[in-house]
Structure 1
């Protein structure tokens, strides 16, 4: 009787312990999933801000490019004005030198003068002819002096205009540099926040992976290519990010494909994520067993739901450009126990 009672107590304790473990395990997974969901929501918010900033950057860059075109045109006008000023200076110097030389010849040598010319006339007709010549010379001198005065005035106006244009150009450059600096500052701040959230998400993902049951073994062999295009626009590894311009690790491969093209499951498995997923936009994640999962990002729409079992080659989404993206493409990732690996090793 005592033996049966002891066995009953042991069984009760064992059942209670297993129940407590299962409850604790489920609660732990649930808590981690809630934490991941919270982080992903923050990633969504940051991604939205990043996309808004990206649009703003494109608009501001177009404005800066337009401003740069205006500045280049203004610089060309300044260069032309400087050439005109130098030419005006040369014209003034040439006219001034010609007038000075002739006046020195006529008035300083003492051998020839207007009065001498008139008095030296031998007839009335020669006197009239000499008088007309003197009048033409006098008129030419007056015209030369007037032209010199006009050119001096023109020179002063050009120099004033040149000074104003240089000042305006300097102000335009300052405005363009200020706008560029502000945009770069905001972009770096958002990139830092996104990197921080990505690091947190990776940490929590690893913790969830550690709590999951990994008894399921992957037996599917090599993957099939996940879309209709074979063009890789950005490989796995470090690269310059196309939006932020920051040198950072690329967690998968980008495959250039048109909007709305079919996205295929690279291998059979169970869908664990389907829908908006931070910077990945509309994404699908499939668990294939043995800790292996694949991610398909930036889709225009998804065709599967969480918990659904899918077959290799089944259409799971349509390609797009959602999330942090510069154009239609498929971002494809492979993770093993939560860690990123080069996807290309899984294909023939």
Structure 2
């Protein structure tokens, strides 16, 4: 009896010291958790900003690529027009060659008419108007007179026709020359305009291609920064996870020491009773524990470390059992999350919350409101992701829910 009393007295004397040391150590871990939360929030904010910057850079690249595509399309259209003009030019050149031959023939005919008219004018000048009368008076008979008269009439008509032919040939030559010169001028102007347009569009395409290259480089640079921040975020989450596991282990050790102290003092059995959890929320399970199709697509399977309970945004989330809040805040893909240590190396996690009503270090009771349903983090819609961890490892919550 004396030994039992002595042992109980020793426990009573040492328990406050042990509890005080454990409390100080737990407080230190909780402080480190809060600091890690701040680091995570900072990284997440920077990552959010960079993702927004990356999205803007991607939009800029798409816009510039669209403009470049339009410019290249305009260049192709201009090239088609130039080819059409070249075809028309070849056609006009063929007509020009044909018209030149016609022009040469017209000028040759004109020269012949000019020569014939010149000869007639020279003859008329040499003989005078009396030449025609002498021809008529020199007739030896009436029939000869009539024949000479007819010949003279034909000569006069031929002279008149020669003049008319000359005038028509001159007019035709002038018209051909005008048409050819006008067509050639129009084609030259059109070709010059299209060539200028092609040069301008080519310069614009080069400029826009440079802008696209610069925008792509900027996008790739920002994408690299996003990748770096995502890696840093993963490291920060892993560090936070280690701190949470350490805090949970320390809390479990503290509770175990207290339980053993009570057992020694009062004869209580050192074996711990299994914990029973209450449903944190009413609603259907939309995604069970274990392997499932990734909800974000891609046709791949992933491991779901908890259960998803459907509920509207703002619905109250209750603590599944009494315990100690060891985490409350942003938790990567979980979004806003709460983690409660219930002792016996068991903790529960409540993810994707829209609001959090508790703080780290707070003691909560079973059924106490701790958060509100939301869709923060990696979520496809409003629901509660409920997770049970035993010794830091996820286990099927339905085995403990009652």
Q: 1:33 deviation in Å?
A: 1.0
Where 2:349 maps in the other structure, the secondary structure is strand
RMSD of aligned alpha carbons: 3.9
Residue 333 (structure 2) pairs with residue 341 (structure 1): no
Q: Distance in 2 between matches of 1:248 and 1:99?
A: 73
Q: Which residue of structure 2 lines up, in the alignment, with residue 43 of structure 1?
A: 36
Q: 1:15 deviation in Å?
A: 5.6
- TM-score when normalising by structure 2: 0.66
Q: Distance in 2 between matches of 1:129 and 1:15?
A: 137
Q: Which residue of structure 1 lines up, in the alignment, with residue 125 of structure 2?
A: none
Structure 2 counterparts to residues 227-266 of structure 1, below 5 A: 227-230=281-284, 232=286, 251-266=305-320
Q: Give yes or no for contact 2:244–2:326 (8 Å, CA) kept in 1.
A: no
Comparing 167-176 with 21-30, greater Cα deviation is found at: 21-30
Q: Give yes or no for contact 1:235–1:253 (8 Å, CA) kept in 2.
A: yes
Matched pairs, number:
328
Q: Which of 249, 269, 273 pairs up with 2:325?
A: 273
Larger helix share, 1 or 2: 2
Q: Which of 333, 342, 355 pairs up with 1:300?
A: 355
Residue 230 (structure 2) pairs with residue 192 (structure 1): no
Q: Distance in 2 between matches of 1:142 and 1:209?
A: 98
Q: 1:77 deviation in Å?
A: 1.0
1:207-241 deviations in Å (ceiling 9; x for gaps):
43234226541364xx5543244254695579989
Q: Which of 165, 169, 172 pairs up with 2:212?
A: 169
Q: 1:24 deviation in Å?
A: 4.9
Structure 2 counterparts to residues 1-348 of structure 1, below 5 A: 14=7, 17-19=10-12, 21-105=14-98, 112=104, 115-116=107-108, 118-119=110-111, 122-213=165-256, 215-218=271-274, 220=276, 225-230=279-284, 232=286, 251-266=305-320, 269-273=321-325, 276-277=328-329, 279=331, 281=336, 283=338, 285=340, 287=342, 290-297=344-351, 298=353, 300-302=355-357, 306-310=362-366, 315-320=369-374, 328-346=382-400
Mark the CA change 1:290 to 1:148 in structure 2 (over 3 Å): closer, same or farther.
closer
Q: Distance in 2 between matches of 1:35 and 1:114?
A: 113
Q: Which has the larger radius of gyration?
A: 2
1:318-338 deviations in Å (ceiling 9; x for gaps):
22456x566744231212244
Q: Distance in 2 between matches of 1:241 and 1:30?
A: 41
Q: Distance in 1 between matches of 2:303 and 2:239?
A: 14
Q: Give yes or no for contact 1:41–1:278 (8 Å, CA) kept in 2.
A: no
Mark the CA change 1:200 to 1:116 in structure 2 (over 3 Å): closer, same or farther.
farther
1:73-118 deviations in Å (ceiling 9; x for gaps):
22331331232242133124213423443455556x7994673365
Q: Distance in 2 between matches of 1:237 and 1:27?
A: 43
Q: Gapped runs of 5+ residues in structure 1?
A: 1-6
Q: Distance in 2 between matches of 1:329 and 1:50?
A: 25
1:30-82 deviations in Å (ceiling 9; x for gaps):
24312320231123212312441343145224413421431342233133123
Q: Distance in 1 between matches of 2:374 and 2:79?
A: 59
Q: Distance in 1 between matches of 2:14 and 2:293?
A: 44
Mark the CA change 1:241 to 1:175 in structure 2 (over 3 Å): closer, same or farther.
farther
Q: Distance in 2 between matches of 1:35 and 1:239?
A: 40
